[in-house]
Amino acid sequence: MENKKKRSPIMVIGFAVLIGFLVIALLNGTIRPSSVVAAKVGLAPGTLLTADLMEVRSVPAGGVPSDAFKAIADVEGQMLTVGRAPGDFITKSVVGESAASGIPSQLQPGHVALAVRVNAASGVAGLIREGQTITIIGMLAPDVLQNAGLNSALSMMPDAGQQVADPNAPIATATPIVTPTPAPLQSPLVRIAITGVKVLLVPQSFRYQELPPGSGNDQMFASATTSQSAQSGSVIVLDVPLQPVEIKPGLMVNPASLLAALDEYGKLFLAIEPAGGLQAGEILTLNLGEMYQALNAGTQVILPTPTATQIK
Protein backbone atom coordinates (compact mmCIF):
# COMPACT_ATOMS: atom_id res chain seq x y z
CA MET A 1 0.00 0.00 0.00
CA GLU A 2 1.20 3.43 -0.83
CA ASN A 3 1.54 5.79 2.07
CA LYS A 4 -0.73 8.81 1.63
CA LYS A 5 0.82 12.18 2.28
CA LYS A 6 -0.70 13.91 5.23
CA ARG A 7 -1.54 17.64 4.86
CA SER A 8 0.12 19.90 7.36
CA PRO A 9 -2.35 21.46 9.82
CA ILE A 10 -0.42 24.71 9.55
CA MET A 11 -1.38 25.01 5.88
CA VAL A 12 -5.06 24.44 6.65
CA ILE A 13 -5.01 27.04 9.40
CA GLY A 14 -3.27 29.48 7.08
CA PHE A 15 -5.94 29.12 4.40
CA ALA A 16 -8.69 29.64 7.01
CA VAL A 17 -7.05 32.78 8.34
CA LEU A 18 -6.64 34.17 4.81
CA ILE A 19 -10.29 33.55 3.96
CA GLY A 20 -11.32 35.18 7.23
CA PHE A 21 -9.33 38.32 6.44
CA LEU A 22 -10.88 38.54 2.96
CA VAL A 23 -14.39 38.22 4.37
CA ILE A 24 -13.70 40.89 6.98
CA ALA A 25 -12.28 43.25 4.36
CA LEU A 26 -15.32 42.71 2.13
CA LEU A 27 -17.83 43.26 4.91
CA ASN A 28 -15.94 46.27 6.21
CA GLY A 29 -16.62 48.14 2.99
CA THR A 30 -20.35 47.33 3.20
CA ILE A 31 -21.35 47.45 6.87
CA ARG A 32 -18.76 49.92 8.08
CA PRO A 33 -20.63 52.79 9.75
CA SER A 34 -20.70 56.00 7.72
CA SER A 35 -22.10 59.44 8.52
CA VAL A 36 -24.93 60.88 6.41
CA VAL A 37 -27.16 63.95 6.77
CA ALA A 38 -30.88 63.15 7.14
CA ALA A 39 -34.07 65.14 7.67
CA LYS A 40 -34.91 65.51 11.34
CA VAL A 41 -38.56 66.40 10.66
CA GLY A 42 -40.83 66.39 7.63
CA LEU A 43 -39.66 69.01 5.14
CA ALA A 44 -41.69 70.48 2.28
CA PRO A 45 -40.23 71.60 -1.06
CA GLY A 46 -38.92 75.15 -0.88
CA THR A 47 -37.71 74.80 2.72
CA LEU A 48 -34.49 76.63 3.54
CA LEU A 49 -32.34 74.04 5.28
CA THR A 50 -31.04 75.00 8.72
CA ALA A 51 -29.12 73.03 11.32
CA ASP A 52 -32.16 72.44 13.52
CA LEU A 53 -34.02 70.71 10.66
CA MET A 54 -31.31 68.10 10.00
CA GLU A 55 -29.29 65.52 11.86
CA VAL A 56 -26.30 63.30 11.18
CA ARG A 57 -26.98 59.58 11.29
CA SER A 58 -24.63 56.62 11.26
CA VAL A 59 -25.64 53.99 8.71
CA PRO A 60 -23.85 51.13 6.90
CA ALA A 61 -21.67 52.47 4.12
CA GLY A 62 -23.35 50.22 1.58
CA GLY A 63 -26.67 52.03 2.08
CA VAL A 64 -25.39 55.58 1.64
CA PRO A 65 -26.14 57.23 -1.76
CA SER A 66 -23.11 58.44 -3.64
CA ASP A 67 -24.32 62.08 -3.59
CA ALA A 68 -25.34 62.17 0.07
CA PHE A 69 -24.05 64.93 2.34
CA LYS A 70 -21.93 63.80 5.28
CA ALA A 71 -21.87 67.04 7.26
CA ILE A 72 -24.63 69.52 8.05
CA ALA A 73 -22.34 72.44 7.27
CA ASP A 74 -22.07 71.26 3.65
CA VAL A 75 -25.83 71.62 3.02
CA GLU A 76 -26.88 74.32 5.50
CA GLY A 77 -28.43 77.35 3.80
CA GLN A 78 -29.47 75.55 0.63
CA MET A 79 -33.08 75.22 -0.53
CA LEU A 80 -34.89 71.90 -0.68
CA THR A 81 -36.51 71.19 -4.04
CA VAL A 82 -38.08 67.80 -3.19
CA GLY A 83 -40.05 67.00 -0.02
CA ARG A 84 -38.35 64.84 2.60
CA ALA A 85 -39.89 62.67 5.31
CA PRO A 86 -38.23 62.30 8.73
CA GLY A 87 -35.14 60.12 8.31
CA ASP A 88 -34.79 60.63 4.55
CA PHE A 89 -31.28 61.35 3.34
CA ILE A 90 -30.39 64.82 2.11
CA THR A 91 -28.62 64.40 -1.22
CA LYS A 92 -27.31 66.77 -3.87
CA SER A 93 -30.17 65.83 -6.20
CA VAL A 94 -32.85 67.25 -3.86
CA VAL A 95 -31.29 70.65 -3.13
CA GLY A 96 -30.24 73.63 -5.18
CA GLU A 97 -31.57 75.06 -8.39
CA SER A 98 -30.29 72.55 -10.95
CA ALA A 99 -32.66 71.71 -13.81
CA ALA A 100 -32.33 68.00 -13.06
CA SER A 101 -33.67 68.32 -9.53
CA GLY A 102 -36.99 69.23 -8.02
CA ILE A 103 -40.14 69.83 -10.03
CA PRO A 104 -38.58 69.76 -13.54
CA SER A 105 -37.43 66.18 -12.97
CA GLN A 106 -41.01 65.17 -12.12
CA LEU A 107 -42.52 66.48 -15.37
CA GLN A 108 -43.17 64.16 -18.27
CA PRO A 109 -42.53 65.29 -21.86
CA GLY A 110 -45.38 67.52 -23.01
CA HIS A 111 -46.27 68.63 -19.47
CA VAL A 112 -45.70 71.92 -17.66
CA ALA A 113 -45.86 73.07 -14.05
CA LEU A 114 -48.66 75.61 -13.58
CA ALA A 115 -49.64 77.50 -10.41
CA VAL A 116 -53.29 78.34 -9.68
CA ARG A 117 -54.82 80.39 -6.89
CA VAL A 118 -56.78 78.60 -4.16
CA ASN A 119 -58.40 79.37 -0.84
CA ALA A 120 -59.87 77.25 1.92
CA ALA A 121 -63.08 76.59 -0.07
CA SER A 122 -61.66 76.01 -3.54
CA GLY A 123 -58.63 74.10 -2.22
CA VAL A 124 -60.53 71.40 -0.25
CA ALA A 125 -59.74 73.07 3.10
CA GLY A 126 -56.00 72.49 2.64
CA LEU A 127 -56.30 68.69 2.49
CA ILE A 128 -54.54 68.49 -0.89
CA ARG A 129 -51.07 66.95 -0.83
CA GLU A 130 -48.26 66.38 -3.32
CA GLY A 131 -48.71 63.31 -5.49
CA GLN A 132 -52.52 63.31 -5.37
CA THR A 133 -54.61 63.66 -8.52
CA ILE A 134 -57.43 66.18 -8.63
CA THR A 135 -60.37 67.18 -10.80
CA ILE A 136 -60.63 70.88 -11.65
CA ILE A 137 -64.07 72.47 -11.93
CA GLY A 138 -64.30 75.81 -13.72
CA MET A 139 -66.92 78.52 -13.31
CA LEU A 140 -67.48 81.43 -15.68
CA ALA A 141 -69.99 84.23 -15.07
CA PRO A 142 -71.38 86.78 -17.60
CA ASP A 143 -70.14 89.74 -15.57
CA VAL A 144 -66.59 88.43 -16.05
CA LEU A 145 -67.04 88.64 -19.83
CA GLN A 146 -68.42 92.16 -19.49
CA ASN A 147 -65.51 93.29 -17.32
CA ALA A 148 -63.03 91.71 -19.72
CA GLY A 149 -64.61 93.56 -22.66
CA LEU A 150 -65.78 90.40 -24.41
CA ASN A 151 -69.48 91.23 -24.64
CA SER A 152 -68.98 93.68 -27.51
CA ALA A 153 -66.89 91.14 -29.39
CA LEU A 154 -69.45 88.42 -28.87
CA SER A 155 -72.32 90.65 -30.01
CA MET A 156 -70.56 91.23 -33.34
CA MET A 157 -70.18 87.50 -34.00
CA PRO A 158 -72.96 85.76 -36.01
CA ASP A 159 -75.10 83.26 -34.20
CA ALA A 160 -74.70 79.57 -34.91
CA GLY A 161 -76.51 78.72 -38.14
CA GLN A 162 -76.85 82.35 -39.20
CA GLN A 163 -75.76 83.02 -42.80
CA VAL A 164 -73.37 85.87 -43.42
CA ALA A 165 -74.53 88.22 -46.21
CA ASP A 166 -72.46 88.29 -49.38
CA PRO A 167 -71.13 91.84 -49.89
CA ASN A 168 -71.20 91.39 -53.69
CA ALA A 169 -74.84 90.34 -53.83
CA PRO A 170 -77.42 92.87 -55.09
CA ILE A 171 -79.26 94.77 -52.45
CA ALA A 172 -82.88 93.72 -52.19
CA THR A 173 -85.61 95.79 -50.66
CA ALA A 174 -87.09 93.77 -47.85
CA THR A 175 -90.29 94.41 -46.04
CA PRO A 176 -89.45 94.98 -42.38
CA ILE A 177 -90.94 92.26 -40.25
CA VAL A 178 -90.85 92.57 -36.53
CA THR A 179 -89.80 89.21 -35.10
CA PRO A 180 -89.39 88.96 -31.36
CA THR A 181 -85.98 87.48 -30.62
CA PRO A 182 -85.56 86.07 -27.15
CA ALA A 183 -82.49 87.41 -25.43
CA PRO A 184 -79.91 84.77 -24.60
CA LEU A 185 -79.99 83.66 -21.02
CA GLN A 186 -77.01 85.17 -19.25
CA SER A 187 -76.08 83.11 -16.20
CA PRO A 188 -73.00 81.47 -14.69
CA LEU A 189 -71.72 78.28 -16.31
CA VAL A 190 -70.07 75.49 -14.31
CA ARG A 191 -68.21 72.57 -15.87
CA ILE A 192 -65.46 70.06 -15.11
CA ALA A 193 -62.47 71.55 -16.94
CA ILE A 194 -59.96 68.70 -16.66
CA THR A 195 -59.45 65.52 -14.63
CA GLY A 196 -56.43 63.50 -13.52
CA VAL A 197 -54.20 66.49 -12.76
CA LYS A 198 -51.25 65.66 -10.52
CA VAL A 199 -50.36 67.97 -7.62
CA LEU A 200 -46.68 68.94 -7.54
CA LEU A 201 -46.44 71.43 -4.68
CA VAL A 202 -48.61 72.57 -1.78
CA PRO A 203 -47.18 75.33 0.46
CA GLN A 204 -46.78 74.34 4.08
CA SER A 205 -48.76 77.38 5.21
CA PHE A 206 -51.83 76.21 3.24
CA ARG A 207 -51.95 72.65 4.58
CA TYR A 208 -54.66 71.61 6.98
CA GLN A 209 -53.27 70.93 10.45
CA GLU A 210 -54.79 69.57 13.64
CA LEU A 211 -53.32 70.41 17.01
CA PRO A 212 -52.81 67.58 19.51
CA PRO A 213 -54.46 67.89 22.93
CA GLY A 214 -52.47 70.00 25.37
CA SER A 215 -50.78 72.13 22.73
CA GLY A 216 -49.02 75.23 23.95
CA ASN A 217 -49.73 78.83 23.10
CA ASP A 218 -46.98 78.92 20.49
CA GLN A 219 -48.50 75.99 18.60
CA MET A 220 -51.98 77.50 18.82
CA PHE A 221 -50.67 80.80 17.44
CA ALA A 222 -48.90 79.00 14.59
CA SER A 223 -52.10 77.10 13.78
CA ALA A 224 -54.13 80.31 13.79
CA THR A 225 -51.62 81.91 11.45
CA THR A 226 -51.84 78.93 9.11
CA SER A 227 -55.65 79.05 9.13
CA GLN A 228 -55.63 82.77 8.37
CA SER A 229 -53.23 82.21 5.47
CA ALA A 230 -55.47 79.47 4.07
CA GLN A 231 -58.54 81.69 4.37
CA SER A 232 -56.90 84.58 2.54
CA GLY A 233 -55.59 82.36 -0.24
CA SER A 234 -52.50 80.67 -1.56
CA VAL A 235 -51.25 78.95 -4.71
CA ILE A 236 -50.53 75.34 -5.54
CA VAL A 237 -48.49 73.94 -8.43
CA LEU A 238 -50.03 71.40 -10.81
CA ASP A 239 -48.69 69.06 -13.48
CA VAL A 240 -50.72 70.10 -16.55
CA PRO A 241 -50.53 68.40 -19.98
CA LEU A 242 -50.26 70.47 -23.14
CA GLN A 243 -52.17 68.01 -25.32
CA PRO A 244 -55.40 69.76 -26.47
CA VAL A 245 -58.66 68.36 -25.09
CA GLU A 246 -62.19 68.62 -26.47
CA ILE A 247 -64.45 70.44 -24.01
CA LYS A 248 -67.29 70.68 -26.53
CA PRO A 249 -67.84 68.94 -29.88
CA GLY A 250 -65.55 70.75 -32.27
CA LEU A 251 -63.97 72.97 -29.58
CA MET A 252 -60.39 71.99 -28.69
CA VAL A 253 -58.45 73.89 -26.04
CA ASN A 254 -55.04 73.64 -24.46
CA PRO A 255 -55.47 72.60 -20.78
CA ALA A 256 -52.72 74.94 -19.59
CA SER A 257 -54.28 77.91 -21.42
CA LEU A 258 -57.75 76.94 -20.15
CA LEU A 259 -56.66 76.80 -16.51
CA ALA A 260 -54.70 80.05 -16.80
CA ALA A 261 -57.73 81.83 -18.32
CA LEU A 262 -60.16 80.49 -15.72
CA ASP A 263 -57.75 81.35 -12.92
CA GLU A 264 -57.57 84.94 -14.16
CA TYR A 265 -61.11 85.60 -15.43
CA GLY A 266 -63.22 82.93 -13.74
CA LYS A 267 -63.09 80.61 -10.74
CA LEU A 268 -61.47 77.24 -10.14
CA PHE A 269 -62.54 74.61 -7.62
CA LEU A 270 -60.38 71.56 -6.92
CA ALA A 271 -61.71 68.12 -5.98
CA ILE A 272 -59.54 65.26 -4.72
CA GLU A 273 -59.91 62.10 -6.80
CA PRO A 274 -59.95 58.52 -5.43
CA ALA A 275 -56.62 56.72 -5.14
CA GLY A 276 -57.59 54.42 -8.00
CA GLY A 277 -58.47 57.26 -10.36
CA LEU A 278 -61.75 58.85 -11.42
CA GLN A 279 -64.19 57.60 -14.05
CA ALA A 280 -65.93 60.87 -14.91
CA GLY A 281 -68.18 59.54 -17.69
CA GLU A 282 -70.03 62.14 -19.73
CA ILE A 283 -69.16 65.68 -18.67
CA LEU A 284 -72.07 68.13 -18.77
CA THR A 285 -72.12 71.89 -18.46
CA LEU A 286 -74.33 73.35 -15.73
CA ASN A 287 -76.17 76.54 -16.67
CA LEU A 288 -77.55 77.98 -13.44
CA GLY A 289 -80.12 80.11 -15.27
CA GLU A 290 -81.54 77.17 -17.21
CA MET A 291 -81.60 75.08 -14.06
CA TYR A 292 -83.49 77.81 -12.23
CA GLN A 293 -86.05 78.05 -15.03
CA ALA A 294 -86.44 74.27 -15.17
CA LEU A 295 -86.98 74.03 -11.42
CA ASN A 296 -89.58 76.81 -11.52
CA ALA A 297 -91.38 75.65 -14.66
CA GLY A 298 -95.06 75.23 -13.94
CA THR A 299 -94.75 76.70 -10.48
CA GLN A 300 -97.58 79.09 -9.75
CA VAL A 301 -96.91 81.84 -7.30
CA ILE A 302 -99.97 82.44 -5.09
CA LEU A 303 -100.09 85.94 -3.71
CA PRO A 304 -102.06 86.68 -0.53
CA THR A 305 -105.52 88.16 -1.16
CA PRO A 306 -105.82 91.62 0.37
CA THR A 307 -108.68 92.00 2.82
CA ALA A 308 -110.52 95.23 3.41
CA THR A 309 -110.21 96.72 6.85
CA GLN A 310 -113.47 98.10 8.18
CA ILE A 311 -113.12 101.38 9.99
CA LYS A 312 -115.61 101.87 12.71
| Predicted model pTM | 0.58
Task: State the CATH architecture for 30-102.
Answer: Alpha-Beta Complex (3.90)
* pLDDT exceeds cutoff 80 at 259: yes
Percent of the chain with pLDDT over 70: 63
Q: Of 233, 241, 237, nearest to 195 (Cα)?
A: 241
pLDDT of residue 279: 77
pLDDT in tens, 63-102: 778 888 889 888 888 888 777 888 888 888 788 765 455 6
- pLDDT of 218-239, one tens digit each? 555 555 555 565 556 788 999 9
- State how far the Cα of 286 lies from the Cα of 177, in Å rounded to an integer: 35
Q: What is the pLDDT of residue 240?
A: 94
Q: What pLDDT was estimated at residue 248?
A: 77
SS3 letters for 113-133?
A: EEEEEECCCCCHHHCCCCCCE
Please, which pLDDT band fits residue 156 given cuts at 50, 70 and 90? very low
Tens digit of pLDDT for each residue in 286-296?
Answer: 878 788 778 77
Q: With a cut of 70, say whether residue 257 has pLDDT above it.
A: yes
Q: What stretch of H or E contains 248?
A: strand 245-248
Per-domain boundaries in the chain: 30-102, 111-149+186-293
Contact by Cβ (8 Å): 144, 287: no
- What integer pLDDT is reported at residue 198 of this predicted model? 92
| Residue 160 pLDDT exceeds 50 | no
What separation in angstroms does the CA of 161 have from each of 164, 168, 169, 236, 285?
9, 21, 20, 42, 21
